[in-house]
Amino acid sequence: PTDKPELLQTAFLILSDWAQNLTLDPVEIDKERGVIIEEWRLSGGASVRMQEKPLPILLSGSRYAERMPIGKKEIIEKFKPETLERFYKDWYRPDLMAVVAVGDFDKAAVEGLINQNFAPIPAPKAPRARSSYEVPDHPQTLYAIATDKEATMTTLTVFNKLPLREQTTVGAYRQQIVERLYSGMLNNRLMDITRKPDAPFVMAAAGRQIFVRTKEAAFLNSIPKDGAVERALETVLVESARVAKFGFTATEFERQKREMLRSYERYFAERDKHESAALAEEYVRNFTQQEPLPTAALELALHERFLPEITLGEVNKVAAEWVGERNRVVMLSAPEKEGLVLPDEAKLAAAIKTGAAAEITAYVDAVGSAPLMDTLPDPGTILRAIPKEPYGITEWDLSNGVKVVLKPNDYKQDEIVFRATSPGGTSLASDADYVSAMAAPQAVAVGGAGKFSATELRKVLAGKVAMVRPVLGDVEEGLTGSASPKDLETMFQLISLYFTQPRTEQAAFDAYKAQGKAILANQQASPDWAFTETTQATLSQNHLRARPMSPALIDEMNLDKAIAFYRDRFADASDFTFVFVGNFTLDTMRPLVERYLASLPSAGRKESWKDVGPTPPRGVVEKVVRKGIEPKSRVGITFTGPFQWNRDSRVAIRALALVLQQKLRDT
């Protein structure tokens, strides 16, 4: 906290001590060895092992391939204290330090504290040279395959290692815009593929990132379904080749430019509301990676300047620059399990050849200019307005029974958020229909709204900032969303459509189920999942409605039952409460609320949720799960009992938890 100067002074003193006055007591060093080894042990697992295995190939010929940043266990166990002292003197020195301070404080006072605590640190007389290690080029494609018995997912990444690019010029910034236009449009195409039931992957993405200090990489990343690795590799390469051969369409290009410009308009509008931590991270990257620090105003100005002049031809050229055999590494990480056959290097190479030889046709961008709603609903009325001035809140009772709660504020200039809730939720579904009911929001989300599929809806909303999402919990159903004040009516139209015209597509729902099953297919290999499953089953006494998500559970989902339950829960808006918070006026909201909320269907049903369990077991229950190959364990203790559900009780239980956490930390 910055409202207590003595705490701020102490914080800078601590930083200064870390920077120059560590005692490096041999006894404390020996104690810390165990702490570091414990951190290394606890961080172990399939993800870490899978990250380490490909490094000798991925970074072949470079010192970066020799070890992970935490180092080697035997070195941590045996290094001499004087080695650590030499390291400290070599690298904790003024010319390699930066002090970043962001927050609500007096600038002059903080500058004074920085000078007071850090200016006296002496510069070294003979500073040790800081080394960077090159990652050698290679003309051919390399392959890195890693498997693990505890892995829960297959990942396939095609890396093309590239030289570090210039970042500090206006021209470099312009080129980054070009490349982000390219990756954005390619990612949209890859996302559309995932919405097909026969898609070979559940996710795919393209981009460019800093690889190591001396190298960047363009990547094509995917999560293949079991048994579809080669087809996933072919698909991502074919999509890249499609762009290289035919380019993107003019309509894709215009949509992506609108989306990008709109995002920077919002970034500029909220420039005074950016989190201090996020700003501090930017300044750190500026120091460590020389990332530029343009202001929000400059970034918006550069996008307004460059987006109109960047040509589609410039963007299409990126495909050839990012994809090719030179400096390419294909990295495959996958589970080891019976029945799962993975391709070897030869089969991966053959998949690349198959993709390169494929007959490629131009992409067809199915677009339309139709409005979200062909006919607007007839407005209802606001029956009663109830101001609650101490809280800055106004409540409106509508003619169809809907209640609206409004709290205008300008904390964020370009945002209005809302949530709508009604009691009931899946507690009102029969046991036979429960699983399908649980999937209802996803069924609608992947199906679209009104006359638009989910893919078409994304295109129609390009350049607009408006989002609405159906939600369905155990005891309530509703909607949640947000919009820019500019696009407020679009958000209200989406609300109306999700109530009155939810759309479903069997193919999209099948794709959603296939994705879920692919993601969960190998979860049983994870020790953490086994622990969580056992805990959940024990606490719920294997209740039907407390089963963890699994491929078998997904198989029970039925689209007809899901949409029937959804339509029933949203057929009557009379017990819904809408809460809006953001940058609006009551005069702006009034006609939108009357037209789009007061017109929602109303049947006057009086409903509430049901208590359908589960109930925890009585007495003391102990369960032991033995799983995993790492030398680590996990313990969970859960207490259950009667509880009065009110604000005071909730505050008391949270306070108790904080006290217990502190006591555990202190011990």
How many Å from the N-terminal Cα to the C-terminal Cα in the chain?
Answer: 26
Is 386 contained in some domain? yes
- Domain hosting residue 464, numbered range: 382-597
**Same domain, residue pair 412 and 551:** yes
| Per-residue three-class SS string for 225-286 | CCCCHHHHHHHHHHHHHHHHHHCCCHHHHHHHHHHHHHHHHHHHHCHHHCCHHHHHHHHHHH
Is 130 contained in some domain? no
Q: In this model, does residue 34 exceed pLDDT 90?
A: no
Q: In this model, does residue 324 exceed pLDDT 80?
A: yes
Is 373 contained in some domain? no
* pLDDT tens-digit readout, 406-416: 999 989 999 99
Q: What confidence tier does 343 reach under pLDDT thresholds 50, 70, 90?
A: very high
Q: What confidence tier does 50 reach under pLDDT thresholds 50, 70, 90?
A: confident
Locate tokens 């809408």: which residue? 578
User: What is the average per-residue pLDDT within 147-158?
Assistant: 94
**Same domain, residue pair 109 and 151:** no
Is 124 contained in some domain? no
Q: In this model, does residue 280 exceed pLDDT 90?
A: yes
Is 71 contained in some domain? yes
**Same domain, residue pair 69 and 148:** no
363: left (phi over 0), alpha (psi -120 to 50) or beta: beta
- Tell me, what DSSP letter sits at residue 593? I
Q: What confidence tier does 631 reach under pLDDT thresholds 50, 70, 90?
A: confident
Tokens of 128: 């040790």
Locate tokens 């929000």: which residue? 296
Q: Could you give the CA distance from residue 407 to residue 586 in angstroms, rounded to a whole number?
A: 9
Q: Could you give the CA distance from residue 281 to residue 289 in angstroms, rounded to a whole number?
A: 11
Is 287 contained in some domain? yes
Task: Report the domain count for the chain.
Answer: 3
* pLDDT tens-digit readout, 448-495: 999 999 999 999 999 999 999 999 999 999 999 999 999 999 999 999
pLDDT of residue 656: 94
pLDDT of residue 42: 76
pLDDT of residue 51: 84
pLDDT of residue 368: 72
pLDDT of residue 547: 93
Is 313 contained in some domain? yes
pLDDT of residue 369: 75
**Same domain, residue pair 281 and 230:** yes
Round the average pLDDT of the chain to a whole number and report it.
94
pLDDT of residue 49: 85
**Same domain, residue pair 417 and 473:** yes
Q: Comparing 462 with 72, which gets the higher pLDDT?
A: 462
pLDDT of residue 209: 93
pTM: 0.88
**Same domain, residue pair 445 and 297:** no
Q: What confidence tier does 185 reach under pLDDT thresholds 50, 70, 90?
A: very high
pLDDT of residue 79: 94
pLDDT of residue 13: 96
Among 88-97, 228-237, 633-642, the least confident range: 633-642
Is 606 contained in some domain? no
Locate tokens 């313990």: which residue? 635
pLDDT of residue 73: 86
Using only C-alpha atoms, the chain has a radius of gyration, in whole angstroms, of: 29
Among 294, 322, 357, which residue terminates a domain? 357
pLDDT of residue 306: 98
**Same domain, residue pair 96 and 218:** no
614 cis-preceded (ω within 30 degrees of 0): yes
Q: Could you give the CA distance from residue 495 to residue 479 in angstroms, rounded to a whole number?
A: 8
User: What is the average per-residue pLDDT within 6-11?
Assistant: 94
Q: How far is CA 141 from CA 66, 159, 208, 224, 488, in A?
A: 21, 10, 18, 20, 50
Q: Which residues contact 368 (CB under 8 A, 6 or more apart)?
A: 456, 460
Closest CA to 319 of 204, 137, 183: 183
Q: Which residues contact 232 (CB under 8 A, 6 or more apart)?
A: 156, 200, 201, 204, 222, 224, 225
Alpha-helical segments (H) within 69-119:
73-78, 81-91, 107-118
**Same domain, residue pair 435 and 569:** yes
**Same domain, residue pair 104 and 213:** no
**Same domain, residue pair 152 and 112:** no
pLDDT of residue 67: 81
Question: What residue type is assigned to position 379 of the chain?
Answer: P
User: What is the average per-residue pLDDT within 341-349?
Assistant: 97
Tokens of 371: 């409005």
Q: Could you give the CA distance from residue 524 to residue 528 in angstroms, rounded to a whole number?
A: 9
Q: How far is CA 201 from CA 91, 149, 458, in A?
A: 45, 21, 21
Q: What confidence tier does 552 reach under pLDDT thresholds 50, 70, 90?
A: very high
Q: What confidence tier does 367 reach under pLDDT thresholds 50, 70, 90?
A: confident
Closest CA to 605 of 564, 566, 574: 574
pLDDT of residue 452: 95
User: What is the average per-residue pLDDT within 293-305?
Assistant: 96
DSSP 527-558: HHHHHHHHHHHHHHTS-GGGPPP-HHHHHT--
pLDDT of residue 613: 84
CATH of the domain at 418: 3.30.830.10
Q: Count other C-beta atoms under 10 Å from residue 181's C-beta.
A: 23
Q: Could you give the CA distance from residue 357 to residue 361 in angstroms, rounded to a whole number?
A: 12
Q: In this model, does residue 330 exceed pLDDT 80?
A: yes
User: What is the average per-residue pLDDT within 377-405?
Assistant: 97
Closest CA to 460 of 574, 380, 525, 367: 367
Q: Could you give the CA distance from residue 154 to residue 131 in angstroms, rounded to a whole number?
A: 35
Among 41-45, 156-160, 179-183, 652-656, the least confident range: 41-45
pLDDT of residue 96: 95
Q: In this model, does residue 307 exceed pLDDT 80?
A: yes
Among 557, 578, 597, which residue terminates a domain? 597
**Same domain, residue pair 318 and 190:** yes
19 and 97 Cβ atoms separated by less than 8 Å: yes
**Same domain, residue pair 309 and 389:** no
